[in-house]
Amino acid sequence: MDMLWFYEIRVAGLLTDRWSDWFGDLKIQSDGSGETSLRGIVVDQAALFGVLNKIHALNLTLVSVTRYPDSYELDNSSFHHSSTALS
Amino acid sequence: MSIPVLTTKLFIPPVRSNAVPRSRLVKKLAAGLSQPGCFILLSGPAGFGKTTLLSELAVRLDQKVAWLSLDEGDNDPVRFWTYLIAACRTNGERIGDAALSLLQTAQQLPVEVVPGILINDLAVFSRSLVLILDDFHTVQNEMIHKSFTYLLEHAPGNLHVVISTRVDPPWPLARFRARNQLVEVRVQDLRFRQDEAEAFLNRTMNLPLSDQEVASLTARTEGWVAGMQLAALSMQGRNNPSSFVKAFTGSNVYVAEYLVEEILLHQAEEIQSFLLKTSILDRLSGGLCDAVMGRQDGKIMLENLYRENLFVLPLDDERLWFRYHQLFADLLRARLQSDFPQEAVVALHQRAASWYEQNGFVAEAVNHVLAVRDFESAARLFEQYGSQMMTRGELATFLSWTDALPDEVIVRHPQIIIAKVWALTLAGEYRLVEPILKLAESYTGSKCDTPETCELVGFTAAIRAFFAMMAGEDDIALQLAERAEGLLPERSVHVRWLLPYTIGAAYRGRGQFEKAVEAFQRQAQMGEAHDNLIVWVTGVTGVALVRRAQGSLREVVQICHQALRRLDAYEAAGFGSLAKLETPLIEVLIEQNELDEAQRRLEGVTARMQNWPMPTDRLHSLLALIQLQTAQGDLIGALETLRVAKELKSNHAVLMNLARLVDLWEIRLFIEAGEFTSADRLLEALQPGTSRWVELRDYELLLLANLRLAQSRPNESQKILSPLVEELEVSERKPALIEALALQAYVWNEQKDRDTALSFFIKALDLAEPEGFVQVFLKFGKPMHQLLAMLSHHQFLETNQRRAYYVDKLSNAVGGRNVEQFEPPGPSGSVSGLVEPLTGREIEVLHLIAAGDSNRTIAKKLVITESAVKKHTGNIYGKLSVNSRTQAVASARQLGILSEQN
C-alpha cells in the first residue's frame, strides 16, 4: 500500500480560497510574501501532476513543490517552507 | 463505416479584423517553414495567442494548410489519425485512402504503419502541405506520440508540420535541435512587447492610455496576451480607465482572477449565469446551449458574446459553433464548481450528454457523463453504441472508458464485456482476454436463450476460435468458429470478418484445401461488400496460398495478376498494406525458376512494406527472400535474411506455423551449407512430423529425408519416404509429392537401382511438367544431373516434345546453378528461333567467344567438355539465326545481350 504524502505547492501571486475545489481540495493560503501556498494530502503522483497541470493552464508561475510525511500538521501556522524545493 | 468527423475541428479560426498583427512572429514561422526537414514547435501556456498566431500564419500562406484542433477525445490513435487525414483532404485530395481503410480494420497497428502510408501518399501528392496541429498537449497517448515522431523523422520535403502546445511534447527535442530540425517559438517570443501592447490597447481596443500606463499594464501582466485582453475588456465602457489601471497594477491578486471578477461583475446576471453554466462545454452551439440552459436564446447569446469579444472563438464560417478561450473556460469552470452545488453541475453535464447523443456524437456524450461519474448512463451509452463504434476501430477510446467503469458496473453489461475483450484481442493483450471471457460465461452460463446472451456466447466462441487457430489448434478453432457463425448477428461485422479467415486457415492447416478456399473466398467477398481493400486482399491472398500448396502454380499466377490489376484500377497498387498479395506469386516464380522476375517483384514488395511492417506480412516476404537467395545460390545472403526473420518472430506475435517455418528454413540452410550435425540437432529438437499443419509436417519429413540422404544414409531416408509418398499420393499436396518422388528417385539411384530410380523420377516429372516446377529438382545438385543424364536417352523424351523441352529447361537450370560438370541433353526440336532467350550458360559462352577464346579455352574456363561447348555454340547460333562466331557476337551486341566493350 502506498504511503500518503502531504504536499506544499507554492505559486507566485495571490489566489483566493474559492479555487480550493478546482485544486482538489488543497488548502489555499497567502502569506505576505506575494506567493500563495496550496497545501494538503495528495493521493498519488497522478493527482499531483493534475494539480501542476492546472497551475500551468492558468499561467501561474510555479515556485516550489515540497513533500512531507502525512503526519505533518496542516494547520501549523508557523510553517516555513523548507529548502527541498523544486527549481 | 468511419468515424463521424466534426468539421469544426478542421476549421481554421478566422483572424479578427482588429487583431494585433504579429508580423515578427509570422516572419519567424514562415522562415521556419521554408527550411527543409524542419518542423515548428510553438510552446507556451494558455492565453499567449498561439492559436491566433497560427490563424494569421495560415491566412498568409499560399500553400495548402491542413488544420486540426486537438482535444482530449483524440487520445485514440484511430481517432487521431482519422482526423489528421481528414484535415489533409478537405478539398478531396487523395491522401490517406489506404490508411483510412486500414484504420477501419480495427487492428492494433504498429506505430509506423499509418504515418508510413501517409508519407508515401504525401510524396505522391507532390504539392506543398502545411499541417498545423493546435493544442497538441491534449494528446497523452504514447502510441500517438511514437507514430507522430515517426512522421516527423521521415517527413517528405513537401510536408511542413507546425505544432502548438502548452507543454513540451515527450519527443527527443534535444536531438531535433541538434540536427537543426526544429524551429521553436516559446513564451519569451510570445509575450506582448511594448509596441504590440500599445497597438492592442490604443488601436484595437480604442482605450486612451498613456505610454506609462501601457508599460505598467505590460509589466503587471508580463506580456500575457490573455491578461492584457481581460484588462482591456474590464476597462471598456468605463469613464476612467486610468483609475482601473492604478487599482489593477497596485494589486497583486492573480491577474486572471482579478480580471474575470471585474468582467463578470459588469455583466447582467443572465449573461453571468450563461457563461458559468455553458463553461462545461468544449464546443458551443445555439442548440447545445439551449439544452444545457433549458432556454431558447442560445444562438443570440453566443452572437452577443462574440460581438462583445467575450472570449468566444467561432469554429466555422456560419458561426454555428463557438468555443470559449480555454483559459477563460477554466476560470469560469473553477467558479462554477465553487458557486454551484454538485447536483446542479451533474445535471448540466447530463443535459449536455443527451443533446450530444441525440445528435449522434456518442464519444462526446460519454465524456460528459464520465466527467461527473454517472457510470450507469455511461454503461447504457456503451451498450447502445458499442458495436457500431468498435466497427470504426476506436479501440483506445473503448479501453479508456471500460477502465473508467467500476467492475460491478461492467459485469452487469454483456455488451461492455464484448467491447473490452475485442479491444484487448486486437491490441494483442491475449493474456488479459481469457479471464474476462470466463467472467462473461459466469454471466450467461454459456446458455443461449435471448438474442443478447446468444451474441455473447457467439462472440466468446469467435475469440477463442481465433486464438486456437493462432496456436495451431485447428480442430478446436473450426468447431468454435462454426458455432460463432451461427450465433453472431449480421451487424457484428467487426468480429465476423475474422471468422472466414480463422476457418480458412484452420482448413488449410488440415489439408482440406477446397473448404479453405471457400472460406477465403467468403472473406474476399466480405471485404468487397464493405469496400475494405485489406480484408479483400487478405482473402484473395489466402486463396492463392492454398492453390500454391496444391501445386496449382499457374492458377496462383492468374489469381495474383488479376487481383493486382484490380488494385491498379483502385490506384492502390503501391500500398504496403496490400503488398502481401504478391508474395504467393513470387513464391511461384521462384519455383518456376523465373528468378529475375521474382527478384524484381520482391524488391518492389520489400520497398512497399517498409511503410507497412505488420509482422506476419513481413515475415512472409522475408521467407520468400530466403527462398530466392537460396535459389540464387546466395547462401550468405539467405543466412542474413534468416537472422532478420528470427529477430522478427521473437519480438512479435506471429502465426505459430509461420514461426516454425522459420526454424525449418534454418535447418534447410544448414543442410545447404553442409552443416549436417547442426541440422540434425535442430531437426531432432523440433521433432519432425509432429506439426499440426499438414504442409509443415510434409516439409519436416522431407527435410529429414533430405538430410539423411546428404549424410549418405539412404536406407533411413527410404524409411521416411515410403509411407510419406503413400500418404501424399491420395492427398492434394502436389508439391510435397513431387519432392518426395524425386527424393525416392535419388535414393534408388544411390542404391544403384537405376530402373526404379528412373520410374520415380519420371513420375515426379510428369506431375511437375504441366505446372512448370523447377526449383524442387534443383535442391540436390549432383544426383539431379545424373538422373537427367540417364533420362537423356530414355523414351520418356522421344514420345513427347513438351517433356523434352521441359527436361531441357531443367538441365539448363541445373547448369545455371553451377553444379559440377554435366552433359547437357541433345538439342531438342523446340529450342530454335529468335523468340527463345539464351540461357545463363549460353551467355557465358557467348562472352568468352566475344573475348576471342577458342572452344578448348572456353571448355577449360567453364569446366565443361569441348563437345559441350560446341553444343552450346550450336544452340547460340540457332537462337540468334547466325552461322559464325563473328555473326553471333555482332548479333548479340545488336540485341543488347553483349555490351559494345565485349
- DSSP conformational letter for B817: T
What pLDDT, in 10s, does the model give residues B172-216? 898 899 888 999 999 999 999 999 999 989 888 888 899 999 999
Partners of A13 on chain B (C-beta within 8 Å) are 252-255
Question: Which among A19, A57, A60 has CB closest to B166?
Answer: A57
- DSSP conformational letter for B241: H
CB contact under 8 A, A57 and B45: yes
H, E, C per residue of B349-390: HHHHHHHHHHCCCHHHHHHHHHHCCCHHHHHHHHHHHHHHHH
DSSP string, B563-625: HHHHHHHTT-TT-GGGGGGHHHHHHHHHHTT-HHHHHHHHHHHHHHHTT---HHHHHHHHHHH
CA separation, residue B397 to residues A49, B433, B518, B536, B846 (Å): 22, 18, 36, 27, 67
Most confident of B261-275, B420-434, B441-455: B261-275
> Residue B403 above 90 pLDDT?
no
**CB distance B205 to B199 below 8 Å:** no
Instruction: Kindly state whether A80 is in contact with chain B, defined as any CB-CB distance less than 8 angstroms.
Output: no
What distance in Å separates the CA atoms of residue A67 and residue A40, rounded to the nearest whole number? 10
Average pLDDT value for residue range B508-530 = 92
Give the residue on A whose Cα is nearest the Cα of B224: A59
Residue B463: which pLDDT band, with cuts at 50, 70 and 90? confident
Question: Which among A16, A20, A59 has CB closest to B224?
Answer: A59
Residue B369: which pLDDT band, with cuts at 50, 70 and 90? very high
What pLDDT, in 10s, does the model give residues B741-763? 999 999 998 888 888 999 999 99
- Left, alpha or beta for B572 (phi > 0: left; psi -120 to 50: alpha)? alpha
Partners of B167 on chain A (C-beta within 8 Å) are 53, 56
> Locate cell 470466463: which residue?
B438
Residue A47 lies in a domain: yes
What distance in Å separates the CA atoms of residue B313 and residue B13, rounded to the nearest whole number? 7
Average pLDDT value for residue range B710-734 = 93
Partners of B338 on chain A (C-beta within 8 Å) are 18-22
Which range, of B135-144, B693-702, B879-888, averages the lowest pLDDT?
A: B879-888
> Residue B830 above 80 pLDDT?
no
pLDDT for position B691: 84
What pLDDT, in 10s, does the model give residues B57-103? 999 898 899 999 998 888 888 889 999 999 999 888 888 888 887 77
Average pLDDT value for residue range B320-332 = 87
Residue A48 lies in a domain: yes
SS3 content of chain A, % helix, strand, coil (to 5): 20, 35, 50
Q: Which residues pair with B41 in a beta bridge?
A: B163, B184
Mutation choice for A interface testing from B191, B257, B259, B400 by most A CBs within 10 A: B257
**B781 phi/psi in degrees, rounded to 5:** 65, -120
Average pLDDT value for residue range B337-346 = 91
**CB distance B66 to B129 below 8 Å:** yes
Residue A51 lies in a domain: yes
Residue A46 lies in a domain: yes
pLDDT for position B819: 38
Residue A49 lies in a domain: yes
What distance in Å separates the CA atoms of residue B653 and residue B445, rounded to the nearest whole number? 31
What pLDDT, in 10s, does the model give residues B574-631? 666 678 899 999 999 999 999 999 999 999 888 877 655 567 788 889 999 999 999 9
Partners of A57 on chain B (C-beta within 8 Å) are 45-46, 166, 326-327, 330
Residue A4 lies in a domain: no
Cell numbers that stand for B181 in this block: 530540425
* Domain count within chain A: 1
CB contact under 8 A, A58 and B167: no
Residue A72 lies in a domain: no
CB contact under 8 A, B330 and A15: no
CB contact under 8 A, A13 and B255: yes
Q: How, if at all, do strands B312-314 and B321-324 pair?
A: antiparallel
Q: Which domain holds residue A57?
A: 22-30+42-61
Distance to chain A for B251, nearest Cα, Å: 9
What pLDDT, in 10s, does the model give residues B18-57? 677 888 999 999 999 988 889 999 999 888 989 999 999 9
CB contact under 8 A, B334 and A22: yes
Instruction: Kindly state whether B255 is in contact with chain A, defined as any CB-CB distance less than 8 angstroms.
Output: yes
Across chain A, mean pLDDT equals 78
**CB distance B11 to B316 below 8 Å:** yes
Distance to chain A for B232, nearest Cα, Å: 18
Across chain B, mean pLDDT equals 85
Spatial neighbors of B288 by CB under 8 A, at least 6 apart, are: B281, B298, B352, B355, B356
Distance to chain A for B248, nearest Cα, Å: 13
Instruction: Kindly state whether A32 is in contact with chain B, defined as any CB-CB distance less than 8 angstroms.
Output: no
Instruction: Kindly state whether B257 is in contact with chain A, defined as any CB-CB distance less than 8 angstroms.
Output: yes
What pLDDT, in 10s, does the model give residues A9-50? 999 988 888 788 788 788 999 877 889 999 998 888 888 988
Q: Which residues pair with A5 in a beta bridge?
A: A42, A69
CA-based nearest residue to B70, from B127, B131, B151, B116? B131
pLDDT for position B700: 94
CA-based nearest residue to B11, from B319, B460, B229? B319
**CB distance B304 to B312 below 8 Å:** no
Whole-number percent of chain B with pLDDT over 70: 90
Residue A56 lies in a domain: yes
**CB distance B115 to B154 below 8 Å:** yes
**CB distance B381 to B365 below 8 Å:** yes
